[in-house]
Amino acid sequence: MTHNLAEQRRSIRHLLNTHEPGDAMAVYYAFYHPDNKTQLITYPAGAARAAGYVAISRTGIDLFRPLITLRFPAGASDAALEMIYSGIMPGSAAYLSAPAGYLPLLQAMFTIETEQQLRLYQLRPANFVPVINVLVTQAPTLDGLPRFVVRSTNPQNRGDVMAWAGLNWQSPDYAEIAVNTSAQYRQRGYGRSVVAALCQHVLNSGRQPLYLVSETNSASIQLAESLGFHDTGERKLLLEVVLRPRQ
């Protein structure tokens, strides 16, 4: 019987491939997210070799909505229900990241408030197209993860952040990049510059950069592809959800 988090993690290790980009986010939240911010529900409960799991992670995204990642046993909707309702109270709000094929089952359990269909891009060192921009600087973060910014040099708004790129998470093998450019500074290459600087930093650390982007965000797709990212073919869901009462 498994009882503690370390044992639970061992029981689900066979369900995820630590070297596969499509599993990378789930791997991080199942195995590397801080212990005191992680809850695992495994199926069957207490099994030494689980058939599925749900990870509930507290993150900086939203103090009131945890992030849920999961793997359901193939074809076992009853098991999926048991895992979800044993770890989450009906009426609870959460973010949920899952393989696209899980959508019908998730729709049966959750009220979906927002839905994004995301492409997963990966950058390998040989494909990287560096960008040199002297305005890019590295800025410290409270969590110790790298962050690169471009600040305005205009006297009227000197020091304002025009664009930044940071990491949502990093595991021993991968790191997921996030980027934002202020609306008034778009189409000037600042976003591309900070992402390029962060990619170089990630590659230097021995990890491979990943980039999740909405299917409809053509500008972000173009940015990724211009730096050498390639579409892995993996499609992910990112949902804002509220768990319905169990029927």
103 and 132, same domain (yes or no): no
Give the pLDDT of residue 3: 62
Length of the chain counted residue by residue: 247
Phi first, then psi, for residue 180 (nearest 5°) are -145, 135
> What is the domain-level CATH number for residue 49?
3.40.630
Residues 42-61: tens digit of each pLDDT: 999 999 999 999 999 999 87
80 and 138, same domain (yes or no): no
> What is the domain-level CATH number for residue 180?
3.40.630.30
128 and 111, same domain (yes or no): no
Task: Tell me the residue range of the domain where 144 lies.
Answer: 124-228
Give the pLDDT of residue 226: 97
Number of domains in the chain: 2
- pTM score, whole prediction: 0.93
114 and 135, same domain (yes or no): no
pLDDT at 127 over 60: yes
112 and 147, same domain (yes or no): no
